Amino acid sequence: MRRLLLGLAALAVTGCEIDSRILQRMEVQPKYKAYQENDFFADHRAMREPPFGTIPRERPAGNPGVTAGAVDGVLVSQVPIQLTPEVLARGKHKYDIVCSQCHGVLGDGNSIVAENMALRLPPSLVALKDKPAGHFYQAITYGYGVMPSFAGEIRLEDRWAVVAYVRALQRSQNVPLAEAPAQVQEQLRRQTEEGRP
């Protein structure tokens, strides 16, 4: 019975307004919200300009072509990191986990998730081969249209790896036969002669 009374008392206290000097609650702590007035400053604004020379923590320092996908507002046309088989493998891994559900394994926009989207189908990344590399980087970082930002899921280095892999997908879907390796050309000729797809 005693435990029941203690439980009821604890439940009753949580629903009561308690003096903030006794138990400070975060939602009633003294603070200024955006655009509120603050008499402490001469201009009466609570929102302040950041000190000169500071950099927001959300924006990494360094080459803007790498960190933002653009230099002086112009999107970078090429992937600005060194491409290696390891980078492409990492890009494929991240693409398969995060991107392929909507854009398809081949980057063509064909997926079960895409078929069930009500608002707008995701575009074929293969068809966007004329877009600069910075476009894809910024779409991953900031989101694009109904696609949300995936900056929280994909680290900066991995974003460029994904962009490199998307470029590889675009190239693989549109490579002329003359540029394919000799053994692939021969295999395709044999299949054509035999009437196989």
pLDDT (tens digit per residue) in 131-186: 999 999 999 999 998 889 999 899 988 999 999 999 999 988 877 878 888 888 88
User: Domain spans of the chain?
Assistant: 72-182
Question: From 1.10.760.10, 1.20.1250.20, 3.30.70.580, 1.20.1440.120, which CATH number describes the 72-182 domain?
Answer: 1.10.760.10
Tens digit of each residue's pLDDT (9 = 90 or more) over 16-59? 565 555 566 666 777 888 888 999 889 988 888 888 887 766 66
What is the pLDDT at residue 136?
94
Decide: helix, strand or coil at residue 123. coil
Give the model confidence (pLDDT) of 33-43 as tens digits. Answer: 888 899 988 99
> Cβ-count burial of 161 within 10 angstroms (0-12 exposed, 13-18 middle, 19+ buried)?
buried
Q: Which residues contact 162 (CB under 8 A, 6 or more apart)?
A: 91, 94, 95, 98, 99, 136, 140, 154
Give me the DSSP letters along 160-177: HHHHHHHHHHHHHHH--G
The most confident of 121-125, 164-168, 186-190, by mean pLDDT: 164-168
| pLDDT at 182 (0 to 100) | 86
How far is C-alpha 134 from the geometric centre of its chain's CA atoms? Answer: 13
Quickly list H helices, the chain: 2-14, 64-67, 85-94, 100-103, 112-115, 133-142, 156-174, 182-194
Buried b (16+ CB within 10 A) or exposed e, 54-74: eeeeeeeeeebbbebbbeeee
- Taking the whole predicted model, whether its pTM rises above 0.85 is answered as no
User: Which tens digit of pLDDT belongs to each residue from 89-115?
Assistant: 999 999 999 999 989 999 888 888 888
